[in-house]
Amino acid sequence: MVSSTIDHLVAVTLFIGALLLFVGMFNQTIQTAVLFQQHSYIATKCSDLLDDMLLNPGYPANWGQTDTTPSSFGVQDPEFTQYQSSAFTLMRLQSSNGTAVTYSKTGLTYSNTTTSFGNFLLVPYTKTINYYQAENLLGLNNTFGFHLTITPVLKVAITENRANWPTSLNFTINTTGTGFPLPNATLNYYFLNVTEKGAITPPSYKIFNGTAYTDYRGQTQLTFGNAGDSYALIVYAHSSGVSGLGYYEHITSTTNYPLPLIASFKNQTLILAHSYDIHSYGSPAPVFFNATLMILTQNLNLRAMPMGSSNGITGSINYGNGQPYSTLTIPTSNPSILIITYASSSGYGVILMPWGLSSMSFPLVFGGNVNNKEWVATNIREITVNGISYQAQLELWSQTAIQLVT
């Protein structure tokens, strides 16, 4: 009787233990399978969403050149088909990685896509589409989060060598793709030599242009004689359908300069603000500027576009209360580069601003924070933005991940 009871107790204990163990083991397998299925769904959704963004211009189709919020989100260039994106639509997306800038004279905060000093792109938040608006317009509504990166395929790196300056000025150009260097690429270059005319007169500039070719390493040297102390070099590189752009500026002062801020996409207007009113660097002084526009033609050449007068728009801006900013109107709806030479008592120089993201091969980072997400799916497309090759990468994650027992 006793042995039978013991046998029963041992058997029940063993059975219950084994049952719990097997429930856990089977559950583990099922959980893994469910997770894999969920991840596979996110990957499919990522590919579909990237195509949705790139193959749809949104509504209205020209929303990149208006100041209104679209009722449907997409970045395709409305004048083209397939994977060609609008340089202006991309410019209206609020950058996720630049530090925003506030300008007290307009009372606005500006999205910052600036790549380096002298290469500015600042768009007021009121004229941009932010991540949450885009999520809603895409119908994601907190179910998925995304991070969109638009990166130029070609990196055109420019390094200067001033060892023999001012007799001669040497630049090394390196063209590199996302995978390998680009050998035998054609380079169309534009050297802007700035001529100082004193602290209270806007400097002028002359352009020297030419063509060069990269060697088997994707590298070449450019040499210019009699360069001043401030200059800029813009290089378009292209080979067999891949094209990109690089730029370099040398200036004598990083204080007291005109800072271009976009005012309206619809009216194609910009504000030129005094840098001291925004950054408060150094000792403030009035700034004298000369603004001209260079338009990028279809064969990747730069052509001067009259802006106000054939010699550009000149003027001055001062810092502090009661000193108004200057306003410029861009006379074209085509992607172009605004070139502003400036002078003040602290020095002179040249700054550039793209009108249309691609005209200076600017990258863009748009969307939410990808860190600490349970699973992130990635997909890539090669796209073209006004003739410049870009790579669009979308990272997508679920915001409503299945909560599993662990």
Partner 1 sequence: MRTVEVLIVISIITAAFLIASFYAVLPSPRQVSPLNLNRLALTTLESLDNNYALSTTAFEPVTNYRWSALQAALSASLPPNIVYNLTVYGLTSSSSPVMINSISNAASLGIGSDAASYLATSSNVTFNVTPQKISGRRGGTLYILNCSDANGWWITGYTSQQLAQDLGNMLSPYFQKTIMVNKTSQLGQILNGTKITTSSLENVTGAVIINTCGECVPIPSGYYATQGSQDGYAKYGWILGQKVQKYNWTWASIVGYPFYYVSNTGLFPNSQNGWGIYGMNQVGSAGLNAFLEGLDNQSYVNNGNWITDSLSGHVYLSSKAIYNSNYYGIYPSPYQTATRALQTFITTTYHLTISTYVFNTVGNDNPGALYRHGTSGGFLALGLDRPPDIRLTALGLLSDYQPRIFNSLYTANGTSRLVVLQLGQVGGV
Write out the residues near partner 1 by the rule CB under 8 A.
7-8, 10-11, 14-15, 18, 22, 25-26, 29, 32-33, 36, 39-40, 42-43, 47, 51, 82-84, 153-154, 175-184, 239-243, 375, 377-384, 387, 389, 391
In the complex, the smallest distance separating the C-beta of residue 251 from partner 1, rounded to whole angstroms, is 31
Using a 10 angstrom Cβ sphere, with 0-12 exposed, 13-18 middle and 19 or more buried, the burial of residue 319 is middle
In 3-state terms, what secondary structure has residue 321? coil
Residue with smaller CB distance to partner 1, 181 or 282? 181
Taking the complex as a whole, how short is the minimal distance between the CB of residue 113 and partner 1, in angstroms?
22
Nearer to partner 1, 37 or 97 (CB): 37
Cα(346)–Cα(6) distance, rounded to whole angstroms? 97
> Running DSSP on this structure, what letter comes out for residue 266?
T
Judged by beta carbon, residue 128 or residue 243, the one nearer partner 1 is 243
| DSSP 8-class letter at 144 | E
The helix or strand, by DSSP H or E, that contains position 47, with its residue range, turns out to be: helix 2-54
The backbone torsions φ and ψ at residue 54, rounded to the nearest 5 degrees and listed phi first, read -85, -25
> What is the C-alpha to C-alpha distance for residues 369 and 19, in angstroms, rounded to an integer?
43
- Which element (helix H / strand E) includes 93? none
Smaller CB separation from partner 1, 214 or 344: 214
Please state the closest distance from residue 144 (CB atom) to partner 1, in A: 14
Q: Which of 51, 229 has the CB closer to partner 1?
A: 51
| Cβ atoms of 181 and 268 closer than 8 Å | no
* Nearest distance from C-beta of residue 86 to partner 1, angstroms: 15
Q: How far is the CB of 8 from partner 1 (least distance, A)?
A: 6
Closest distance of CB 301 from partner 1, Å: 13
**Full DSSP string of 245-308:** EEEEEE-S-SSS-EEEEEEETTTTEEEEEEGGGTT--SS---EEEEEEEEEEPTTS-EEEE-BS
Please report how close the Cβ of residue 67 comes to partner 1 at its closest, in angstroms: 19
CB of 349 to partner 1, least distance (A): 33
Contacts of 40 by beta carbon, 8 Å cutoff, 6+ apart: none
CB nearer to partner 1: pick between 27 and 223: 27
User: Distance (Å, rounded) from C-alpha 19 to C-alpha 14?
Assistant: 8
Residues 26, 32: Cα–Cα separation, whole Å: 10
Residue 9 burial (10 A CB sphere; 0-12, 13-18, 19+):
exposed
Minimum Å gap between C-beta 181 and partner 1 is 7
Q: How far is the CB of 370 from partner 1 (least distance, A)?
A: 14
User: For residue 233, which of 359, 352, 117 has the smallest C-alpha distance?
Assistant: 352
- Of residues 101 and 396, the one with the C-beta less far from partner 1: 396
The set of residues, in sequence order, having a beta carbon less than 8 Å from that of 79 and lying 6+ positions away, is none
* CB-nearer residue toward partner 1: 42 or 232: 42
**Residue 276, φ and ψ in degrees, nearest 5:** -65, -30
**Widest CA span of the chain, in angstroms?**
115
**What is the separation of C-alpha 61 from the centre of its chain, rounded to a whole number of angstroms?**
21
